Structure 1
Amino acid sequence: MADGEDPHAKTRRLASVTLDNASIGRANRDVEHERAVAIYDLIEENSFNPLGDSGAGPYCLNIGLADGRLLLEITRENGAPVVQHHLSLSPLRRVVKDYFMVCESYYSAIRTASPSQIEAIDMGRRGLHNEGSELLRERLKDKIALDFGTARRLFTLVCALHWKG
């Protein structure tokens, strides 16, 4: 094991991620692609540890909406329940709305704008994505230990629940 490597990295991680089909709508090709890439990237590289869980992962995560709240349902690979977290979406609404507006501009720009215009819009998009990721990480700090990269990919999936495309 290399210095600085987490000895629990194989168990403090997600093995699968699903989006609740009842919570998401069909979306355009760009949005469907973003969802698939975010799930793939999240499974490939993540750091995820439900706080207070005495067992070991890896974990499975189902993300959905229930009664206007974000639902994170965590189980073990064998389906045994670990914990469910219900989070208010209110703190995320502004950044999600702003992120969607910039994403729409970005998708439009990549078809017609100059490279410098696309780059400027993409910088704004990444900045809002980072802001949303930090906000999500802050909201989960007493529930789930996760790194910034994992929070980024989770934020993409939270947005996917709202993007009816």
Structure 2
Amino acid sequence: MKVVQHLWFERDMDAALALYTSLIPGSRIDWTDAVPVDNPSGTAGSVKMAGFTLGDQSYRAIQAGPLDPFNHSFSIMVVCDDQAQVDRLWDALIEGGTTEQCGWLRDRWGLSWQIVPKRLGELMSDPDPVVRNRTGEAMMQMVKFDIAGLEAAARS
């Protein structure tokens, strides 16, 4: 048995998957196809499907026109090793999208992402409750996470 996330794109699935797989090491588009028969979402060949891998997580996707838009109840979280990774992913995914608080953004297709530095988890699990509180307060003031800012707040 295997659990696989499935994403429904209204449009531009190929462009979205090309971007996503270019940003995360170990990622690839595994296959693409079109539904060969008429179906409720379109005529034969108009509905696209794909399988892809981001890091070590398998996904499936479909481009089948409007249904329900992406929302905050589903997001992809990427835990980054350093600020350079945070910056690179954030800058690529935010193009045409919108920023949100606490490391969240919506890309140009409306998919929510959480771009989170590994260091945030370390600070939030520090045995000292003062460090956790200061880190949490700093986190709530940030849009894109700044590791140096989190560390400075934790030490203040």
Bigger proportion of residues as strand: 2
TM-score range, shorter chain: under 0.3
Scaled by the length of structure 2, what TM-score is found? 0.24
Pick the structure with greater CA Rg. Answer: 2
Bigger proportion of residues as helix: 1
Larger RCO of the pair (alpha carbons < 8 Å, separation 6+): 1
Scaled by the length of structure 1, what TM-score is found? 0.23
